[in-house]
């Protein structure tokens, strides 16, 4: 065996690089990668501001996004005059009922939609839409915005 090199025996042991005075190897690379992933996970938790169980948040977010999409599809299908605020409130309400993840998804989708509408020149009723979004997300009854004559299946 050469001087200054130790034999690779098992976990936690590595090759001694001359001049470093200590073992280096797979364990150090793995620890660095693990720390980076752990740090990225913590940053994600802080960004999202999770108040719920960490393992339910993503499921609730997906379900909430589905609720928002369903409300949008229903609005397009109904094609009913002055019904957009009702569908805004309903989508946000149903998404928020899922939990923190659904509430987060509803807020992100609503804000993105209103930002997009504002950029495309349709900002006329953005504030009223956002009021309906907040009303639904906070648990308010979407029927507050329901237009007269809208079929019961909506």
Domains of the chain in start order, with CATH, are 15-48 (no CATH), 57-145 (1.10.132.110)
**Would you say 16 and 5 are in contact if contact means Cβ atoms under 8 Å apart?**
yes
pTM of the model: 0.63
SS3 148: coil
CA 49 – CA 16 distance, rounded (Å): 44
Q: Which tens digits make up the pLDDT trace of 77-125?
A: 999 999 999 999 999 999 999 999 999 999 999 999 888 877 665 556 7
Residue with the two structure tokens 């939609």:
113
CA 104 – CA 42 distance, rounded (Å): 18
Higher-confidence position of 90 and 31: 90
CA 68 – CA 8 distance, rounded (Å): 56
Rounded to the nearest 5 degrees, what angle is found at the Cα of 137, between the Cα atoms of 120 and 71?
60
């Amino acid at each position: 065996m050469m001087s200054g090199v130790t034999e690779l025996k098992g976990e936690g042991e590595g090759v001694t690089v001359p001049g470093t005075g200590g073992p280096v190897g797979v364990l150090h690379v793995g620890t660095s990668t693990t720390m980076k992933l752990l740090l990225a996970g913590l940053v994600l938790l802080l960004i999202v501001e999770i108040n719920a169980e960490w393992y339910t948040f993503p499921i609730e977010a997906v379900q909430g996004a589905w609720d928002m999409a369903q409300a949008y599809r229903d609005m397009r299908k109904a094609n009913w005059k002055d019904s957009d605020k009702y569908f805004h409130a309903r989508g946000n309400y149903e998404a928020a009922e899922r939990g923190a993840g659904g509430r987060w998804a509803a807020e992100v989708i609503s804000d993105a939609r209103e930002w997009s509408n504002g950029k495309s020149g349709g900002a006329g009723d953005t504030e009223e839409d956002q009021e309906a979004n907040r009303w639904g997300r906070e648990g308010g009854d979407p029927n507050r915005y329901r237009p007269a004559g809208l079929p019961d299946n909506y």
